[in-house]
């Protein structure tokens, strides 16, 4: 039975702050995520190398060095806890034994750090979505589905605290929608394909999480959708307003995981997090300036405004002048968290939240849509329907309207071409019917049917 | 009245309906189809390219212009021998084995095509031997490879080695790109060029073609 | 005529905040440093390579790529201004033509950025101190002195806004004092040799700055003294309390530059900056968590508490997943500054300063000595004498006393061995006479006379 | 009463006066001087090393212990033939040409000496040919080079090349370190080992010596 979200999790905008959420999650080690403290979430990846039976030992050594290094630094800086994310590279999901081995290495090092330093840690295991290895993607069965689930299951049994994924259902259509700035196709990709796939996928993942002791299904990220849009916008390839709208239309898709039983913290790169937190009350992970090594962004500070864990997204094991890059990332995250938590200890978290917001909100439309009041206003409308597709269409309409108003009132910096694009999007959105199937029939002829298989989405 | 300037402007504006009218009118007037291409359609894209580079046009707008140019091309192409079709050169492009990222690759293809290159898209997850087979079949001047993952970038290296092994490495220039890829890496593995993103890749290819064919090629 | 500092530049501790100082400095481009806004200060260096006539062109291209990249990102993020630091590698000072060429490349790119984006910039040129290339160091003449001054002079004429240096007078004695945790020798190195060298050196540098249009002598850093101590302490090689005391005894040395006419912003890695600002009222540069790529530290946030420019110290031109590392550094600095400046706009700079302080001050003795109230208390004592050596001895006494009190009162985390080391230091300091020459005669027999030439310090 | 255990404890405590009394007493008792060294003085340092590694001792304390050991050595050394002096091996150490950093190097020397190695310190700013000359003269098992600057790290490479050119590369193991140096760089330029800092360098050298001489060397 899916959960229903038909009202906001908050009554008061002032309660909507970083570090605490109405439904905190407690890890095996006693970290209470959303319980008042913002924790750092550290991510890392291999330097350039091949992965095969002859190199896996070397890769394991690198992961082992990384985790030992970051946990040592975390202990030296007295962090109240660390969430480690292990996000797999494709080879580690395709060959689950590789992924399982690395996950175990990380869990072991975390145990050692607990003994050695008394450090509290938890691990989020995030297999990459392998299903797109088939072209067109096969979403509900087959070799890739099987190996992916194998990695999930064993990780859960081996002691992972959280499981997540950046799932890709609908990406095969969204990719070209992005570069063409085609909002109708993007709404189809996220609101029809994405939401349908999420429902299927997260039902399975919630069940798998249940196989473990105190293991939680944590949440998904529309990374390949909304973050790709953000990166394209940063490069000047597509309009910032388009990327801002994509961000918000990714919200109903993300919500599906929580309807199916995910409890957070949602994924770091899921900037749709603030909406999820407002609607579900579950804690969220976010990333901003301290993830600049993974991607530049116009939301370096505001991303932290209501974050419960604060992440560096990812960094390769390369040497900087001081230390290996993941250790540098660990230190930066810890100081960011210290500052936020210091404000909380003073009872000044609201002041600090508003500074994070003020820092960025007026400078970019993508930052503007993450303002807590904007998040509340849009979220309050979205909960009025339980139809995921309609929610997606509404998200687009509401965001376009919010941005037009903000630009007209001079509340946010905008490119001279932005208003034209907002008008264009509005016109396109207005052609979309309220019913998903009706929309599918309408748009079918425009879709590249070599790229996707309708039956994989129950269509 | 239809003029070459109107055609160029129409490409710039990305007007898919108007372009057909204009190009057909010039054909009916008896204008040399190669002139229509070079001084009308491609000339239009030649205005687009710098506007994109300076940030005044977005990719979707460039794509509309490219679509418009292609719409015009459809009308003139049947009137010209294949061999006479103006082209800066031929490039085959693919994302390497194990890597599924294609947005960057597709942007590159779009930019290359709209700048007058003939592009053969091998898609994503392209095996070493498939790059080699494509070189043998299509005889391109340039091979472009992209990798977005630290664990697939070494596949660029192995593909170059395969090109050497099969004796076709010297026939082509190899250019590479993608998030983890650097100029240093390109130098290390013996690629001919590295480009940071789609918008600089065209310049890189122009330089490559210049090395291959001399000034001629670029002004084609 | 040297300036005298015999009272604090502030009456009220609440005025002692980041971004504004009693004596702001205005750059040619109109940036007012210390005038209310914290600016980012970006530094960068080459990746691993040889420098010679055949590679200098490649090096120039790399610097050109770096500066264009960072200024573009700075403009995209709407920063109110950027201070660029060009800190030379030895080859670029030894062959001034190399250093001059790079400095010109940077200045040209800055001009281009002003035209292209309307970006305000200024440049600090920091030749490395070449005099230690002689062993023992020759401080006041000779080939290295000459080439170093040549680079300073031409940079000033070519349009540099600020000149700085990390001077090394006394380092030849301080190096072994650090690893032996010998506080007497360190006081001799900093308080006698360092101060004497600073007087000679900065008299010259202030004159050279005067050769340029609106060019300022900005300040020095005891980097090779106090930051080396910090890094050794981070590695667990020497006691944190020792590094904390070294930090403060570097203050009188740094002050000499300002007595000679330096006006700030003092050097980024000179963590003695807060004391300098309290005493002179001049703006200061600082670095912390966003400089973690250059060195880890226990003062990631507190370092920003009274900073006027905020720096990344240095980073090589290496590729991270998103972009080249200097661009990543630029983005992180800008977001840090945005947040601080947002607080200032709200009139909340004091709240924010105190959060930066609260974040770190209780967790490490090196952070504790940077607390604004501690800085004020110690500075207020130091200005009572004009004798640099006596000031240095007093700095040591005062810091030991502050730390003992803080540890006893449980105000700062400490290692169980710290109190023993504080007692040991105090005993050693008590053996030091108040007169520099008397001290020199006392300690002479313990000094390795192969390592330093007394006459180079007027001894 | 003086015992070997007292001597070890005295080294650990770093008591420069007491050590003379204790060692002299054992000599006067007629104890084998090599036994005094191995089971008293070096045994003391063998307690110090792990305490330093685990963060329970600071460098200045280790240095005091090392000084204390050396003070004891001064008394026993004249009683032993040079060739019989226990030593793990000989290492020459220097900071490369153009680089003036010596704290890290000096820490390394201190750690190596107090772990039983004989160290020849070439100082800072050491030219390629001076490394070679020192290898020929001192016949060390290991050569250690450090570089703290990105612009001097390539000097490690050129020094190794010089060792090869002069035909002495095979006689020694080369270990390298310093802020910009990485394991990858060490592999690239053909160094035998890389160490992150002084405290791990001793382990590295012990491994190197094991490769050279077998188990024997380490337990010397
Ligand atoms: Zn992501
Ligand atoms: Zn410095
Ligand atoms: Zn600096």
Is the peptide bond between C136 and the residue preceding it cis, with omega within 30 degrees of 0? yes
Give the pLDDT of residue C14.
98
In chain A, % of residues over pLDDT 70: 100
β-pairing, C309-311 vs C39-42, is: parallel
Question: In Å, how far are C1, C351, D23, D26, D44 from D30, measured between CA atoms?
Answer: 70, 73, 11, 6, 20
ipTM: 0.90
End-to-end distance of chain A based on CA atoms, in angstroms?
A: 22
Ligand 1 centroid to Cα of residue C150, in Å, is 50
Predicted local distance difference test score (pLDDT) of residue C294: 94
Query: What are the tens digits of pLDDT across the range D65-121?
Result: 989 998 999 999 889 887 777 778 899 999 988 777 778 888 888 888 878 888 999
Are A49 and B110 in contact (CB < 8 Å)? no
| Residue of B150, B155, B197 with shortest CB distance to A46 | B150
For A44, which residue in chain C has the nearest alpha carbon? C321
Interface check B51 vs A, CB under 8 A:
no
Nearest partner of D198 among D104, D74, D67, D86, judged by Cα: D104
DSSP states along A86-120: EEPPHHHHHSHHHHHHHHHHHHHHHHHHHHHH---
Find chain A residues with C-beta within 8 A of C351's C-beta. 348, 351
pLDDT (average), residues A179-193 = 97
In chain C, the residue whose alpha carbon lies closest to the alpha carbon of B182 is C319
* B9–C contact, CB cutoff 8 A: no
SS3 A383: coil
C91 Cβ under 8 Å from any chain D Cβ: yes
Q: B179 contacts in C (CB within 8 Å)?
A: 321-322
B75 with B110, same domain? Answer: no
Q: What is the pLDDT of residue B216?
A: 46
Indicate whether D192 and D209 sit together in one domain: yes
For B38, which DSSP code? I
Residue B6 has pLDDT above 50, yes or no: yes
Res. B217: pLDDT tops 90: no
Chain C CB contacts of A360 below 8 Å: 335, 338
Rounded to 10 deg, the angle between the C142-158 and C195-209 helix axes is 40
pLDDT tens sequence across C217-234:
999 999 999 999 999 999
Judged against a pLDDT cut of 80, whether residue D218 lies above it is answered with: no
- Whose atoms come closest to the Cα of A285: which ligand? 1
Residues whose CB falls within 8 Å of the CB of residue B69, separated by 6 or more in sequence, listed in order = B11, B19, B41, B42, B44, B45, B114
- Residues A104-142 have pLDDT tens digits of 999 999 999 999 999 999 999 999 999 988 889 999 999
Residue B97 and residue B70 share a domain: no
pLDDT for the residue numbered C273 = 98
Distance from residue C168's CA to the centre of ligand 3 (Å) = 14
**How does residue A365 score in pLDDT terms, banded at 50, 70 and 90?**
very high
Q: Does A55 touch chain B (CB under 8 A)?
A: no
Q: Are residues D53 and D107 in the same domain?
A: no
Parent domain of B112: 89-218
Please work out, in degrees rounded to the nearest 5, the angle formed at the alpha carbon of residue D108 by the alpha carbons of C138 and C181: 70
Assess A348–C contact: CB distance below 8 Å, yes or no: yes
Note whether A339 and C352 are within 8 A (CB): no
Q: Dump pLDDT digits (tens) for D18-77.
A: 999 999 999 999 999 999 998 999 899 889 988 988 889 999 999 899 899 989 999 998
CA C345 to ligand 3 centroid distance, Å: 28
Please state the rounded mean pLDDT for residues A238-252: 97
* Gap from CA of C286 to ligand 3 centroid (Å): 9
Digit-coded pLDDT (tens) for D149-172: 888 888 999 999 999 999 999 999
How far apart, in whole angstroms, are the C-alpha atoms of residue D110 and residue D116?
10
Alpha carbon D77 to its chain's center: 18
Name the maximum alpha-carbon separation found in chain C: 62
D200 touches chain A (CB under 8 A): no
SS3 A45: strand
Interface membership of C318 toward D (CB under 8 Å) = no
| Beta carbons of C29 and C214 less than 8 angstroms apart | no
Are both B70 and B28 inside the same structural domain? Answer: yes
The 3-state DSSP composition of chain A as helix, strand, coil percent (nearest 5) reads: 55, 10, 35
Residues C98-122 have pLDDT tens digits of: 999 999 999 999 999 999 999 999 9
**DSSP for B82-123, written as a single string:** GGGS--SEEEEEEEETT----HHHHHHHHHHHHTTEEEEEEE
- CA B170 to chain C, closest CA, distance in angstroms equals 27
Read out DSSP for A391-459?
HHHHHHHHHHHHHHHHHHTT-S---TTHHHHHHHHHHHHHT--SSHHHHHHHHGGGS-TTT--GGGGT-
The predicted pLDDT at position B219 comes to 39
Among the three residues B55, B84, B113, which one is the final residue of a domain in this structure?
A: B84
Residue A267 is predicted with a pLDDT of: 97
Q: How many beta-carbon pairs under 8 angstroms link A with C?
A: 133
Chain C residue with Cα closest to D100 = C133
Per-residue pLDDT at B151? 80
Q: Is C91 in contact with D60 (Cβ distance < 8 A)?
A: no
Residues constituting chain C? 459
Identify the CATH number of the domain in which residue D177 sits: 3.40.50.280
Is residue D195 pLDDT above 80, yes or no? yes
Please report which ligand is nearest the Cα atom of A220. 1
Give which of D93, D190, D176 is closest to D138, Cα–Cα. Answer: D93
- B55 contacts in A (CB within 8 Å)? 236
Q: Is the pLDDT of residue B140 over 80?
A: yes
Banded pLDDT at B207 (limits 50, 70, 90): confident
The CATH number assigned to the domain holding D61 equals 1.10.1240.10
Q: Which residues, 6 or more positions from A449, have their beta carbon under 8 angstroms from its beta carbon?
A: none
Tell me chain C's radius of gyration from C-alpha atoms.
21
Q: What angle do CA B12, B63, A183 make, to 5 degrees?
A: 120
The CA distance from A86 to A164, in Å, is: 10
Out of A90-99, B41-50, C76-85, least confident range: B41-50
Q: What is the mean pLDDT of each run of 10 residues along chain C (459 residues)?
A: 92 98 98 98 91 94 97 97 96 96 98 97 97 92 96 98 97 93 98 98 98 96 94 92 98 98 97 98 98 96 98 93 95 98 98 98 98 98 97 98 98 94 97 97 94 95
Choosing from B39, B62, B84, the residue where a domain stops is: B84
Average pLDDT over residues A75-94: 96
Do B42 and B113 reside in the same domain of the chain? no
- Residues B111 and B206 occupy one common structural domain: yes
Q: Distance from the CA of A222 to the center of ligand 1, in angstroms?
A: 8
Question: How far apart are the CA of C223 and the centre of ligand 2, in A?
Answer: 4
Tally of domains in chain B: 2
CB contacts of C135 in chain D (<8 Å) are: 123-125
Q: Does A12 touch chain D (CB under 8 A)?
A: no
Round to whole Å and give the CA distance between D15 and B25: 103
- Give distance in angstroms: CA of B129 to centre of ligand 3: 50
B75 with B142, same domain?
no
- D59, D99, D180 member nearest C237 (Cβ): D59
User: Quick one: closest CA in A to B61, which residue?
Assistant: A180
The conformation of residue A304, written as its DSSP 8-state character, comes to G
What is the overall mean pLDDT for chain D?
Answer: 87
Cβ-based contacts under 8 A for chains A and D: 6
Please tell me what DSSP assigns to residue D111.
Answer: H
Sheet holding A285-287, edge to edge: A216-220, A162-165, A121-126, A82-87, A39-42, A309-311, A285-287
Tell me the nearest-neighbour CA distance from A423 into chain C, angstroms: 25
Contact across the interface for A321 and D182, Cβ inside 8 Å: no
A48 to chain D, any CB pair closer than 8 A? The answer is no
What chains are in contact with C, requiring at least 3 Cβ pairs below 8 Å? Answer: A, B, D
Co-location of D95 and D174 in the same domain = yes
pLDDT at residue number D109: 86
Sheet holding D142-146, edge to edge: D117-126, D89-96, D142-146, D173-177, D193-194
pLDDT given at position B80: 86
Among A76, A319, A327, A328, the residue to mutate for chain D (most D Cβ within 10 A): A319
Give the DSSP letter of residue A319. B
Q: Is A322 on the interface with D (CB under 8 A)?
A: yes
Q: Is A404 on the interface with C (CB under 8 A)?
A: no
B193 shares a domain with B122: yes
Which of B84, B105, B133 marks a domain boundary? B84
Name every residue whose Cβ is closer than 8 Å to that of residue C183 and which is 6 or more positions away in sequence: C177, C242, C245, C396, C425, C428, C429
Q: Does C331 touch chain A (CB under 8 A)?
A: yes
Whether B44 contacts B7, CB under 8 Å: yes
| Residue of chain C with shortest Cα separation from B183 | C319
Token readout for C83 is: 């201070």
Q: Tell whether D86 is within 8 A of chain A (Cβ).
A: no
pLDDT value for B215: 45
Q: What is the CA(D163)–ligand 3 centre distance, in A? A: 36
B44 and B131: one domain? Answer: no
Q: B94 with B194, same domain?
A: yes
B98 in reach of chain A (CB within 8 A): yes
Which chains does chain A touch, 3 or more C-beta pairs < 8 A? B, C, D
Neighbours of B8 (CB within 10 A): 22
* Three state DSSP letters for chain C: CCCCCCCCCCCCHHHCCCCEEEEEEECCCCCEEEECECEEEECCECCCCCCCCCCHHHHHHHHHHHHHHHHHHHHHCCCCCEEEEEECCHHHHHCHHHHHHHHHHHHHHHHHHHHHHCCCEEEEEECCCHHHHCCCCCCCCHHHHHHHHHHHHHHHHHCCCEEEECCCCCHHHHHHHHHCCCHHHHHHHHHHHHHHHHHHHHHHHHHHHCCCCCCEEEEECCHHHHHHHHHHHHCCCCCHHHHHHHHHHCHHHHHHHHHCCCCCCECCCCCCHHHHHHHHCCCEEEECHHHCCCCCCCCCCHHHCCCCEEECCCCECCECCCCEHHHHHHHHHHHHHHHHHHHHHCCCHHHHHHHHHHHHHCCCHHHHCCCHHHHHHHHHHHCCCCCHHHHHHHHHHHHHHHHHHHHHCCCCCCCCCHHHHHHHHHHHHHCCCCCHHHHHHHHHHHCCCCCCCHHHHCC
CA distances to A303, A370, A388, C230 from A273, rounded to whole Å, are 9, 9, 17, 39
Indicate whether B166 pLDDT > 70: yes
Subunit contact A182:B124, Cβ cutoff 8 A: no
Chain C residues touching residue B177 (CB < 8 angstroms):
none
Task: Please check whether residue C315 is in contact with residue C329, taking contact to mean a CB–CB distance below 8 angstroms.
Answer: yes
Tokens of C366: 């090196």
Q: Write out chain A residues lying below 8 Å of C316, CB-based.
A: 320-321
Q: Are D123 and D94 in contact (CB under 8 A)?
A: yes
Of all residues in chain D, the one with the smallest CA distance to A318 is D182
Give CA–CA dist C284/C277, Å, rounded.
6
- The span from the CA of A417 to the CA of B56, in Å, is 9
pLDDT the model gives residue D220: 36
Residue A96 at interface with chain B, using a CB cutoff of 8 Å: no
Chains that touch B (3 or more CB pairs under 8 A): A, C
- At residue A302, does pLDDT exceed 50? yes
| Res. D214 pLDDT band, cuts 50 70 90 | low
Contacts of C169 by beta carbon, 8 Å cutoff, 6+ apart? C131, C137, C139, C193, C194, C196, C197, C198, C201, C457
Task: Please give the residue of chain B at the shortest CA–CA distance from C47.
Answer: B184
Size of interface B-C (CB pairs under 8 A): 6
Question: Residue D9, exposed/middle/buried by CB under 10 A (0-12, 13-18, 19+)?
Answer: middle
């Amino acid at each position: 039975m899916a959960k229903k979200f038909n009202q906001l999790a908050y009554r008061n905008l002032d309660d909507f702050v970083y570090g605490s959420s109405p439904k905190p999650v407690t890890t095996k080690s006693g970290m209470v995520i959303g319980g008042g403290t913002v924790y750092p979430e550290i991510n890392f990846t291999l330097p350039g190398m091949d992965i095969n039976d002859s190199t896996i030992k070397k890769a394991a050594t690198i992961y082992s060095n990384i985790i030992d290094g970051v946990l040592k630094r975390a202990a030296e800086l007295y962090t109240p806890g660390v969430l480690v994310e292990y996000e797999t590279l494709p080879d580690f999901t395709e060959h689950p034994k590789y992924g399982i081995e690395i996950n175990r290495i990380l869990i072991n090092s975390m145990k050692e750090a607990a003994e050695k330093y008394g450090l509290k840690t938890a691990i989020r295991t995030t297999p990459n979505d392998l299903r797109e290895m088939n072209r067109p993607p096969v979403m509900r069965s087959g070799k890739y589905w099987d190996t992916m689930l194998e990695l999930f299951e064993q990780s859960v049994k081996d002691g992972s605290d959280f499981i997540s994924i950046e799932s890709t259902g609908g990406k095969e259509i969204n990719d070209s929608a992005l570069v063409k700035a085609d909002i109708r196709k993007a709404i189809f990709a996220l609101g029809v394909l994405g939401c349908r796939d999420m429902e299927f996928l997260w039902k399975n993942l919630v069940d798998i999480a249940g196989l473990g002791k105190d293991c939680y299904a944590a949440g998904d990220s529309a990374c390949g959708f909304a973050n790709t849009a953000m990166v394209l916008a940063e490069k000047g390839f597509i309009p910032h307003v388009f990327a801002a709208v994509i961000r918000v239309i990714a919200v109903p898709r993300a919500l599906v995981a929580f309807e199916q039983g995910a409890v957070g913290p949602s994924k770091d790169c899921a900037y749709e997090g603030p909406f999820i937190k407002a609607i579900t009350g579950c804690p969220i992970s976010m990333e901003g300036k301290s993830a600049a090594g993974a991607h530049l962004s116009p939301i370096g500070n505001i991303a932290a405004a209501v974050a419960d864990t604060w992440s560096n997204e990812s960094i390769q094991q390369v040497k900087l002048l001081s230390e290996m890059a993941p250790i540098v990332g660990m230190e930066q995250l810890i100081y960011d968290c210290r500052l936020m938590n210091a404000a909380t200890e003073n009872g000044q978290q609201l002041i600090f939240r508003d500074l994070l917001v003020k820092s960025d909100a007026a400078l970019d439309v993508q930052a503007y849509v993450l303002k807590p009041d904007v998040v509340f206003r849009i979220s309050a409308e979205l909960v009025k329907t339980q139809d995921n597709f309609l929610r997606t269409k509404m998200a687009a309409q509401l965001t376009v309207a919010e941005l037009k108003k903000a630009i007209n009132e001079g509340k946010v910096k905008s490119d001279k071409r932005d208003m034209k694009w907002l008008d264009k999007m509005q016109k396109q959105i207005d052609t979309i019917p309220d019913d998903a199937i009706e929309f599918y029939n309408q748009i079918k002829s425009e879709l590249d049917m070599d790229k996707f298989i309708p039956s994989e989405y129950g269509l | 009245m239809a003029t070459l300037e109107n055609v160029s402007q129409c490409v710039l504006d990305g007007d898919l309906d108007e372009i057909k009218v204009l190009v057909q009118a010039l054909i009916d007037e008896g204008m040399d189809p190669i002139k229509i291409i070079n001084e009308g359609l491609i000339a239009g894209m030649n205005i687009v390219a710098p506007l994109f580079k300076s940030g005044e046009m977005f990719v979707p707008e460039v794509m509309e212009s490219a679509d418009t140019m292609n719409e015009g091309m459809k009308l003139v192409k049947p009137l010209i021998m294949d061999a006479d079709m103006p082209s800066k050169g031929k490039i085959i492009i693919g994302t390497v084995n194990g890597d599924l990222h294609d947005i960057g690759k597709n942007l590159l293809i779009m930019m290359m095509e709209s700048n007058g290159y003939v592009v053969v898209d091998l898609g994503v997850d392209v095996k070493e031997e498939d790059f080699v087979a494509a070189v043998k079949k299509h005889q391109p001047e340039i091979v472009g490879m992209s990798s977005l993952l630290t664990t697939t970038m070494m596949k660029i290296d192995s593909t170059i080695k395969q090109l050497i092994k099969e004796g076709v490495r010297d026939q082509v220039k190899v250019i590479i790109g993608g998030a983890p890829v650097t100029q240093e890496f390109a130098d290390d593995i013996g690629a001919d060029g590295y480009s940071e993103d789609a918008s600089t890749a065209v310049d890189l290819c122009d330089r490559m073609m210049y090395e291959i064919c001399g000034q001629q090629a670029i002004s084609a």
